[in-house]
Homo-oligomer: A and B are copies of this chain.
Amino acid sequence: MEPRQIPPHLQPTWQELMQRLQEIDHLRRAVNVLIWDQNTYMPPGGAAARSSHQATLNRLAHAKFTDPALGRLLDALEPLREALPPDSDEAAILFWVRRDYDRSRRVPEAFVARAAAHFSQLFQAWTEARPQDDWQAVRPLLEESLRLSQEFAAFFPEHQEPLDVFIDHSDPGMTAARMDELFRELREVLRPMVQAIKAHPPVDDRCLHQHYPVEGQRAFGEMVAACYGYDFQQGRQDLAPHPFMIKIAQGDVRITTRYREDDLAIGLFSTLHETGHALYEQNIHPRLADTPLDHGASAGVHESQSRLWENLVGRSRPFWEHFYPRLQETFPDQLAQVSLETFYRAINKVQPSLIRTEADEVTYNLHIMLRFDLERALLNQELRVADLPEAWRARMAEDLGVVPSNHRDGVLQDIHWFSGFIGGSFQGYTLGNIMGAQFFQAAMAEQGPAIQEEMAQGRFDALRTWLTERIYQHGGKFLPDTLIERVTGRPLSVQPYLEYLQRKYSELYDLSTVQAGTPGD
């Protein structure tokens, strides 16, 4: 970037810092290519070497980032940081690099290596244990993970509780106590809403479970992604077992999806979800490319965009009023006789289930709360790892009324606890739901007529432009709380999200009486 804000005598120092950071960035981007390939095209025989190639590049990047020479450059630029306009890119870069550098330096190299080796072993054990439903095979390893997580958290004693350390990493500025409050407000509404919906006869979603050849699914999904504004000249979609978005460069932001020929919703909404993540990354301002700000603001803010494009737009009635006739053209045998209303109700069916990633909008957050509360209890030594499966079952029964009959669909379900530190990797999903609704409400308040008019024609320029101006272009510049205030004029609040759910699902399930609690005060 053009360092216009830097006085001449500090320019060489600034340039050297940028050069070092760029080298680290290039190593990390190369790792992203390795990860993308590993999940899409790598032949089975390449797996073992791939892990060690990634480990080497990650180790080199880490060593370069924790090099004391980088710390000295930051020290030399410290006066500048205070002199710069707080809203400038340069100030933001110095703020974030200083924060990450200090964080990294607090953790001894030996600990990093020990933890990496352990997580690698645990992940391998989990991939074998899960299909065999073998909880006991991973339990001792998970106990070691908990010890490592507590040890890691102890390097940052300024936080209130261990979970805060991990939350602050992926959602800067957030704390376990604040999350707890948000979850409480949500839960007061969602639990009775789920109860009320369960009292209704189940929605008929058989229309989604006919035979849908992959080629038509792909064509339709990519057509919608292009309508959203995803640029296929600067990205591509491929198949992967677990859909993800990955950024290789400003001009190379890729998404993946998976299809099931007996379930139309899986592939389509995966595509729309990952497209939301990708729109964020593709629309970061080019001047931030190759800088430490060239990424979304936090796990929660990122998820807000995937949820916004997947659910608030992609599961809405106006969206399907335009696109359903196109989908019927793509699959005439399957859908010609299915009404828009039937289809709309099918894709918004609420049904408590065991698997988080397959949960609907209403029950989804109850899955997250469960994980959040359990990992918090583990870290605070209020729950033993050995008691985790039973605690999982009890909470599922309480919140969702369904209980897994095995570990595979229970405590062994998610990769998160079995591939890294315990803590901090779930709250972002619910934060995304909350923020997505708050952003969307603000967009509609300012641009509602234009957005709706376009959506009726299958266009999304007004919405995407608004999001780009307010959110995307800034990349990782602002703290999430700052960004939310700037964009919506008010602090983070569950109210828009609860209003959205209540409006949508009251209509779908005739729930006029469900209004427990006073959300959003």
Complex Cα distance A290/B53, Å? 11
Q: Is A157 an interface residue (CB 8 A)?
A: no
Copies in the complex: 2
Q: Chain A interface secondary structure, helix, strand, loop or mixed? A: helix
Complex Cα distance A248/B46, Å? 8
Q: Do A27 and B49 touch (CB < 8 A)? A: no
Contact flag A49-B29 (CB < 8 Å), given A43-B234, A60-B23: yes
Contact bitstring A248-289, B, C-beta under 8 A = 1, else 0: 111110100000000000000000000000000000000001
Contacts of A27 in B (CB 8 A): 56-57, 60
Shortest C-beta distance, A34 to chain B (Å), equals 6
Shortest C-beta distance, A283 to chain B (Å), equals 13
Of the candidates B23, B46, B231, B254, the one whose C-beta lies within 8 Å of that of A249 is: B46
Closest to A234 in B: B45
Shortest C-beta distance, A510 to chain B (Å), equals 47
Q: Is A50 an interface residue (CB 8 A)?
A: yes
Shortest C-beta distance, A1 to chain B (Å), equals 15
Q: Do A233 and B45 touch (CB < 8 A)? A: yes
Complex Cα distance A52/B232, Å? 22
Q: Is A48 an interface residue (CB 8 A)?
A: yes
Closest to A282 in B: B45
Complex Cα distance A231/B46, Å? 12
Which residues in chain A, 235-252, are within 8 Å of chain B measured between CB atoms?
235-236, 238, 248-252
Shortest C-beta distance, A285 to chain B (Å), equals 15
Which residues in chain A, 28-48, are within 8 Å of chain B measured between CB atoms?
29-31, 33-34, 36-37, 41-48
What would 7 A/B residue contacts be, using CB atoms closer than 8 Å?
A26-B56, A27-B56, A43-B236, A44-B251, A45-B233, A48-B249, A60-B60
User: Interface residues, chain A, CB within 8 Å of chain B?
Assistant: 22-23, 26-27, 29-31, 33-34, 36-37, 41-50, 52-53, 56-57, 60, 231-236, 238, 248-252, 254, 289-290
